[in-house]
């Protein structure tokens, strides 16, 4: 990886179908369950505006859907909106891929930005693992791994 | 992707050292990961395969290079399952005390 880029990769295997996982990744109501009350607002098609919204309605992050190929691949142009030092880094990219593998789906999230030692990537690195653990638990057992009151 | 595979993969100091190197700098090639290690390239390749099978690292191709990324999700799954049910603040306080008593280098 060129040193000018910060990248994190998150992989989880979830015993579900790509269709169910895609629905969980794009449906606002389902998202609120495992994303600590937050949800994404977007028309799920390339070129559409995208927002990540706090439980209280404030906009956390915003951007644009760059690619949308259900239930395989989603690419989001992603910028923080509520912390000045993160917003100053500009837009990063979040690539989400779903691959069916032996009765499960391999979900890969690659979050990167053209900034060395990015604060944004550092900030999301605390959130994604908890969101994905919760999502896996929700889809496999119908229960959450973490109390919804515990914020990432 | 069992917890057993994760615990087995972590039960080796060389593999934990490789994870530490990726934690310090994510997205390294095999060559970069081997640099300065007292391990053969073959040994490192074998350890990386075990870590990847346990989903503790993910790899991506960039042109001709294969980059290795630490994947914290399985460890987080284990933490939620085995530690989350206990009192987190108390554990954090104990970890803090341990760091203070033992010096700031580890923990």
The reported pLDDT for the residue numbered B2 is 79
Judging contacts by C-beta atoms under 8 Å, the chain A residues touching residue B67 are 1
With a pLDDT cut of 70, the percent of chain B lying above it is 89
Band (pLDDT 50/70/90 cuts) for residue A5 is confident
Q: Quote the domain boundaries for residue A124.
A: 6-141
User: Which of B62, B71, B76 is nearest residue A1 as measured by Cβ atoms?
Assistant: B62
* Closest chain A C-alpha to B38 CA, distance in angstroms: 24
Total domains in chain A come to 1
Judging contacts by C-beta atoms under 8 Å, the chain B residues touching residue A145 are 77, 80-81, 84
The reported pLDDT for the residue numbered B88 is 64
User: CATH assignment of B3-102?
Assistant: 1.10.10.10
The reported pLDDT for the residue numbered A3 is 60
What token pair was written down for B93? 């306080």
Q: Using the predicted structure, report yes or no on whether residue B79 has a pLDDT greater than 80.
A: yes
Residue B21 DSSP code: H
Q: Would the CB atoms of B73 and A129 count as touching at under 8 Å?
A: yes
The reported pLDDT for the residue numbered A38 is 94
ipTM for the predicted complex comes to 0.82
Domain edges within chain B: 3-102
Rounded Cα distance, B39 and B45, in Å: 10
Give the mean pLDDT of B50-73.
95
Rounded Cα distance, A41 and A29, in Å: 10
Band (pLDDT 50/70/90 cuts) for residue A148 is low
- For the ranges A6-15, A54-63, A139-148, B23-32, which has the lowest average pLDDT? A139-148
Rounded Cα distance, A142 and A136, in Å: 9
The reported pLDDT for the residue numbered A145 is 67
With a pLDDT cut of 70, the percent of chain A lying above it is 93
Rounded Cα distance, B17 and B91, in Å: 24
B73 touches chain A (CB under 8 A): yes
Side-chain half-sphere CA neighbours of B46 within 13 A: 7
What token pair was written down for A8? 């994190």
Helices and strands (H, E) in chain B, number of each type: 6, 2
Q: Does A148 reside within a domain?
A: no
Q: Does A86 reside within a domain?
A: yes
Q: Does A151 reside within a domain?
A: no
What token pair was written down for B10? 């972590």
B39 touches chain A (CB under 8 A): no
- Name, in order, each residue with C-beta under 8 angstroms of B43's C-beta and a sequence gap of 6 or more: B14
Rounded Cα distance, A6 and A110, in Å: 10
Are the beta carbons of A2 and A106 closer than 8 angstroms?
no
- pTM (2 d.p.): 0.85
Q: Using the predicted structure, report yes or no on whether residue A1 has a pLDDT greater than 60.
A: no
Q: Does A36 reside within a domain?
A: yes
CATH code, domain carrying A124 = 3.30.530.20
């Amino acid at each position: 990886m060129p040193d000018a880029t910060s990248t994190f990769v998150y992989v989880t295997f979830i015993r579900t179908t790509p269709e169910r996982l895609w629905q969980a990744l794009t449906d606002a109501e389902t998202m609120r369950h495992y994303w600590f009350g937050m949800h994404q607002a977007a028309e799920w098609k390339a070129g559409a505006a995208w927002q990540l919204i706090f439980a209280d309605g404030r906009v956390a992050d915003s951007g644009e859907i760059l690619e949308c190929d259900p239930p395989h691949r989603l690419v989001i142009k992603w910028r923080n909106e509520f912390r000045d030092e993160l917003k100053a880094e500009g837009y990063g990219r979040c690539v989400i891929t779903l691959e069916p593998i032996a009765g499960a789906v391999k979900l890969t999230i690659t979050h990167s930005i053209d900034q060395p030692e990015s604060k944004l990537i550092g900030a999301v690195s605390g959130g994604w693992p908890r969101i994905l653990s919760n999502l896996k638990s929700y889809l496999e057992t119908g229960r959450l791994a973490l109390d919804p009151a515990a914020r990432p | 992707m069992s917890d057993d595979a994760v615990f087995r993969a972590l039960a080796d100091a060389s593999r934990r050292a490789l994870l530490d190197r990726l934690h310090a700098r994510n997205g390294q090639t095999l060559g970069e990961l081997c640099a300065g290690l007292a391990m053969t390239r073959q040994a490192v390749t074998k350890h990386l395969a075990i870590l990847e099978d346990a989903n503790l690292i993910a790899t991506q191709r960039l042109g001709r290079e294969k980059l290795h990324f630490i994947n914290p999700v399985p460890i987080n799954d284990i933490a939620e399952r085995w530690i989350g049910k206990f009192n987190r603040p108390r554990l954090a306080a104990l970890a803090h005390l341990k760091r203070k008593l033992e010096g700031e280098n580890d923990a």
